[in-house]
């Protein structure tokens, strides 16, 4: 098994810190999604579980590519550092943007449903009057 130099370990630390930031963003994404669309707690749990699985697979993939799959204490510290940095610096900005995006999507689909309903009512009235 090849040994990693200090420089390579620092690169792994940077990659895993970025992965921790992405994990934080993924959880903010689901939090905003849940707030706008009001899905059940069971579906929210399933979404969180799937995100955890995907995040774990992504982290192990990054570890395999950058560090030959070696799991050391700095791996966990780097992930935690990335999550802390994300929540301290970026979370509010990304959460509000995700929230606004999902509100716009929700408003769009509500308008489409209203147009469809109005069109159906109009066509139904035309058919009855003929």
Beta carbons within 8 Å of 104's beta carbon, 6+ residues apart: none
pLDDT at residue 84 in the model: 95
pLDDT at residue 18 in the model: 93
pLDDT at residue 71 in the model: 82
Determine, yes or no, domain membership for 125. no
Domain containing 75: what range? 6-101
E strand map for 11-126: none
CA distance 7 to 119: 64
Helices vs. strands in the chain: H and E counts, helices first = 4, 0
| pLDDT tens per residue across span 50-68 | 999 998 998 888 888 887 8
CA distance 62 to 56: 10
| pLDDT tens per residue across span 63-108 | 888 878 778 888 889 999 999 999 999 999 999 999 999 999 999 9
Determine, yes or no, domain membership for 126. no
pLDDT beyond 70 at 32: yes
Determine, yes or no, domain membership for 108. no
Least confident of 1-15, 24-38, 88-102: 1-15
pLDDT beyond 90 at 5: no
> Number of folded domains in the chain?
1
62 burial via Cβ count (<10 Å: 0-12, 13-18, 19+):
middle
Beta carbons within 8 Å of 61's beta carbon, 6+ residues apart: none
72 three-state secondary structure: coil
Determine, yes or no, domain membership for 94. yes
Determine, yes or no, domain membership for 43. yes
Is there a contact between 79 and 14 (Cβ–Cβ < 8 Å)? Answer: no
pLDDT at residue 21 in the model: 94
Identify the band that residue 2 occupies on the pLDDT scale cut at 50, 70 and 90. Answer: low
Higher pLDDT, 104 or 6: 104
Determine, yes or no, domain membership for 91. yes
pLDDT at residue 103 in the model: 97
């Amino acid at each position: 098994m090849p040994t990693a130099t200090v420089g390579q370990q620092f690169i792994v630390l940077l990659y895993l810190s970025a992965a921790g930031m992405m994990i934080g963003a993924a959880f903010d994404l689901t939090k905003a999604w849940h707030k706008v669309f009001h899905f059940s707690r069971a579906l929210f749990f399933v979404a969180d579980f799937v995100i955890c699985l995907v995040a774990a697979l992504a982290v192990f993939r990054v570890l395999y590519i950058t560090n030959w799959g070696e799991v050391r204490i700095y791996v966990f510290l780097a992930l935690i550092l990335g999550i802390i940095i994300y929540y301290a610096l970026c979370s509010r900005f990304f959460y509000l943007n995700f929230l606004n995006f999902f509100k716009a999507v929700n408003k769009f689909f509500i308008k489409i449903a209203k147009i469809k309903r109005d069109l159906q009512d109009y066509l139904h009235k035309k058919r009855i009057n003929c």
